[in-house]
Structure formats: C-alpha cells, structure tokens
Chains A and B, each alone.
Chain A
Amino acid sequence: MTTTRTPIPIVPDTPKVPTFDLFTTKKDELVGWARKFSLFPYPFVTACCGMEFMSVSSTMYDTDRFGAALPRFTPRQSDLMMVVGTINHKQAPVLRRIYEQMCEPKWVMAFGACATSGGFYENYAVLQGIDKIIPVDVYVPGCPPRPETVIDAIMQLQDKIAKQHHVILRGDF
C-alpha cells in the first residue's frame, strides 16, 4: 500500500511498515470526523454579508445542524474564521493579527464576494481578496450569498476537513 502524500514523522526514525499507514489513515478519518462536526466559527463580521450570517445562524437555516453554531468571539478558542464582508486596508492588519492568534488547526472561509476578491470595490481602500494576506480554505460567492450557499460551503469545508491529514503530534513536539 503506498500513499501519495508525505506524512510528517511522529517520531523521527520510526520504521515505516504498511500497517502503520493503516493506523494513521484511520486516525485521520476519526480526527477529521470529529473536527468537521465541531467547528467553532470566529465570525469576523464587517459588512452586509453579516446580515446573511445572522440569517444562516438562526432558525430558518440553522448551522447548528452541522455543528458549526457556537461562535467563539475569541480567536484562541475558535478554529474556523469566517471573514464575512469587505476587508479594507485599515482592517487588514487586524485580520492578520487575529488569524495569527488562532491555534492550529484552523480554517478560513471567505464569505462573500468582497472577502473573496474585493467584490465590486476596486479602489484605494479595499483589499482585493483576503487571500492576499491569509490562506483561505473555502470561498463563498454571492453578494451577499444566500444562506443555502453558506451551508453548501460549510459542507464542502467539512469534506475537505474529512480528507485532510491531521497532525496530532508534530516532529518538534
């Protein structure tokens, strides 16, 4: 059985045997399943998309069904940063600092056209997409996106988390 990714060694000089890979993939599936259904969003809400964020968190389109309901308004306790709304150059240092304060594992959702690419604001003030300063995992199109689009994005992010390689112990631990 061969794997196409390069695993981070848990302990250097571990002898590589095929059954070891079986354990790591099963571990990844288990950890992925646990992490994807317990997302703690950090809603970095700035603009109009915040209205749709409030709608998607409420009774009609509930994110609680996906485990992603409880927002944690501190980056230390959250793992999904939802950048909701336009980020301008004044807000960019704040966004970067909060992203750096989040602990691993962390994911970023660019919610809306403005967070994805600056939207239709192409001027001196607006950052043309948050992926210029932080890595993004899922982009949600729309201005603002309908709540169903956001739920689709959460589900796609959950698929991504499920397939990810989850490092529990790093080599420098």
Chain B
Amino acid sequence: MDPTFIPNPVRSALAPTAEDDGRVIVNIGPSHPATHGTVQIITELDGERVLRADVHCGYLHRGFEKECESHTWHNLIPYVDRLNYCSALINDFAYCGAVEQMMGIEITPRTRMLRTLLSEYSRIADHITCVAAGLMELGAMTAFLYLMTLRDYIYEHLADVTGARVTYSYGRIGGLARDLPEGWLKRLDEILDEYETYIGRIHGLMDRNRIFIDRMRRVGVLTQAQAISYGVTGPMLRSTGLARDIRKDTPYLAYADLDFEVPTGILGDNYDRYVVRMREMDESVHMIRQCVDLLPAGPINVDDPRCTLPDKKLVYREIESLINHFKLIIDGPRVPAGETYYSQEGANGELGFYIVSTGEGQPYRVHCRAPSFIHMGVTHLMLEGGQLADVVPTFGSVNMIGGECDR
C-alpha cells in the first residue's frame, strides 16, 4: 500500500448521482471556520440549494466515557470541564451534583447560591461565544470584537476565583474548591455594568439591521414538533415557542429562590435563537444580581469525610485525617452502588449524567447526555431546503460545542 495514501475516515450517506442532472456533492469541513472545526457536513447541492445534508461529527471524540472508568470520581472533574468548554462550570456542577445525589449529600447553602451564580455567569460566557462566533461568520467583525472583550473580562474574573480562564476544575464533590477572594463581588458588579454597555451596542448593531434580518429570519427553521421528536432542548427548543427550562420546571440548586423569565421564540429560526440567547443573557444577569443579594455566609464544603478532604493542618497532625486524606486521593470517594440520571440546564439544553457505581472509588460507567450531540441529529432538517450560504449561520445558531458533542 502506498505509504502516502490518506484514508477517508467517514463513509458518506450521499452517493454521487448521474453526471448530467446538475447535482453536486460538496464537502464542508471538518477543518472549516464555520463548523467550529469539528463537524463535517456533506451536502448535495442543486445550484445553491441544499437538497440533502449528511452531518458527520466525532472529530473531537476524546474517549471521555472510557477515561471515566479508570480515574477516581474526583479525578474526573477536569475531564468533565472539557465537555462544554464554553461554560465549563455548568459541567462541573452537573457532574458533582450527580455524584452528590448518589452519595446522598446535601451541599451547604453558600455553595448552593455560589453554584447558581457561577452557573449563570458561565451561561453568559457561553451565549456570548455563540453569538460572537455566529456574528463573525456573517461578517460582523466589530460585534465579535466587542463580545470577545467582554468575555475576556469574564475569563479574567473567573481566573481570580478558580485559577483558570477557560477550564476551571472548580467544582468538588460536596462543595467547591475555594471560596471567593476579596473584592470579587465588587468586580462582578463592574463587569455586569460593562455587560450592559457592550450588549447594548450589539443590540444597536444587529437587532434591526436589514442584512442581519435578511440572513437570519426564516432561515434554518425548526418546527416545535420536529424539535420534540428529535430530543432538542435548551435555547433551540425555546426558540420554537415551547417554554421548557429545567431551572424553572424542576428547580435545582437555588433556582427556586430566584425570580426570572424563560424567553421563547416564535418561528424557531436563526433570528429567534439569537433573540432567545440575548434575552437569556439578560435574565442571567438579573439572576446573578439576585444571587449576590441572597448569598449567605458559611462553609463552602460539606463536613463529610466521605468526600471532603480534611483540613491540611489536621492531616499533618492526626492519623485519622491522614488516612482519610490518603484514601480519598488514592482510592477516591466511595459512592454507594446504584445508578442515577441527573440533569441540569446547560447552556445548550439538558445536560445529563447517567452514572453507574459499584461502590468503588472509581465509576463503573459514566454516560454524558450531551445536548450538542442530539442537536447534530436534527441539523440536517434545518439545512435541507436552504441555500448553501445559510449553512453557516444556521450551524452557528445550533451552538455545537465539539467537546460536548463528541465527548
């Protein structure tokens, strides 16, 4: 075999048709700026119209579920971060929440409120990234730069509390890694004011922009029936008009104490998804302000030796704390045998963790129900019938995050 031969990793569902019927098969991706680098869309075109689209993901499959079977429950937190890397804190807290449910741990009130606050903060960062990338792909470079500046403020701010800008590994089973530093809440207030300024500019540039409306209105339409049949959740489902939001329907963390609306769209097209995301960001800011007002004092980590590392001073002095620390690090926290499915409202929809434990310090099976993966299953419906140029904004509005889609 020729050593320079490069094989094709996928098999297309679209076969070339007869020579003279004018149809062309065009491959978009996987290394393409608009497909966020990890999705391949093989389209059958009739001129500029997309007749059929075959979506191939898996170009960022990193074996997350296999890794889960050979690390302790704690050691998986960095892996879980890198699922939806745009809003990594939500993944942390969803995973930790699933393990806490299995262990029967009740987190402290301060952690509940902080997790809610940081989840909404992460959601803002994710929606900013989605809207910014979508607008840049339409050519609105200024909007992208404004939003990236705002997102950089958020990243630096989160680096103050978690230590990292993008993938934080901040959640812990039973609590959080560390408490807020001095002055963090004051800077949060400043950033929320900056948010108002920058998002106001985006509204001014985009909302009634003729070009933007022409490119996004009635493009990439997803009907409510299609959305429900294809398992679509999150902003995509809400853009079709159905107000389903786990935070409102079956509140977890501190969402029951907060007052917020669930924005919905009308047609389920790209413009509706843009509006739903922008409105959700406003609601998130409103929720964050409420969280800051309601934030109680108190400990961050629950005082449970099954999962919380003991205080370092005690580890150096007492044999019990030393053994506890040792067992937690080497063997991992022992999660009772059983299974659970725990879901939270991620930035893209229902982020679920189905975990199976056999009582060990390492999981037996962890399955992540990734909203982006499910949404890839419905993307072909939104692309077919549209123009080739509509592939770009439609795909951008789906907010496919590779880490979550391919796990």
Contact = CB atoms under 8 A, between A and B. Distances in A.
On whether A and B touch (CB less than 8 Å), the answer reads yes
Interface of A: 43-48, 50-52, 54-55, 58-61, 71, 73, 84-86, 88-91, 93-98, 120-121, 123-126, 143-144, 146
A-B CB proximity, top 10 nearest: A48-B85, A58-B148, A123-B63, A125-B63, A45-B37, A91-B59, A60-B152, A90-B9, A93-B6, A46-B37
B195 to A, nearest CB: 16
B151 interface: yes
B37 A44 contact: yes
Given A93-B8, A125-B63, 15 more contacts: A46-B402, A47-B62, A51-B85, A54-B148, A55-B151, A58-B149, A59-B152, A84-B37, A88-B62, A90-B9, A90-B59, A90-B61, A91-B38, A96-B6, A121-B67
Contact of B165 (A46, A52, A73, A120): A52
Interface string B117-134: 000000000000100110
A147 to B, nearest CB: 8
B38 A46 contact: yes
Given A47-B85, A48-B85, A126 B63 contact: yes
A123 B67 contact: yes
Contacts of B66: 123-125
Contacts of A55: 148, 151-152, 155, 165
B296 interface: no
A51 B152 contact: no
A69 B149 CA distance: 16
Nearest to B84: A48
Contacts of A54: 129, 132-133, 148
B139 interface: no
B59 A94 contact: yes
A146 B66 CA distance: 28
Nearest to A50: B37
Interface of B: 6-10, 30-33, 36-38, 58-63, 66-67, 78-79, 82, 85-86, 129, 132-133, 144-145, 148-149, 151-152, 155, 165-167, 402-403
B78 A120 contact: yes
Contacts of B144: 58
Contacts of B165: 52, 55, 144, 146
Contacts of A85: 37, 60, 402
A143 B10 CA distance: 29
21 contacts: A45-B33, A45-B37, A46-B37, A46-B38, A52-B166, A55-B151, A55-B165, A58-B145, A58-B148, A71-B33, A84-B37, A86-B62, A88-B59, A90-B10, A90-B59, A93-B7, A97-B6, A120-B78, A123-B62, A125-B66, A126-B62
A59 B145 contact: yes
A118 to B, nearest CB: 9
A98 B33 CA distance: 14
B406 to A, nearest CB: 8
Contacts of A143: 167
A98 to B, nearest CB: 6
A94 B30 contact: yes
A95 B30 CA distance: 10
Contacts of A125: 61-63, 66
Task: Tell which of A46, A55, A84, A143 has the most Cβ of chain B within 10 Å.
Answer: A46
A71 B69 CA distance: 39
A114 to B, nearest CB: 8
A73 B38 CA distance: 14
Nearest to B83: A48
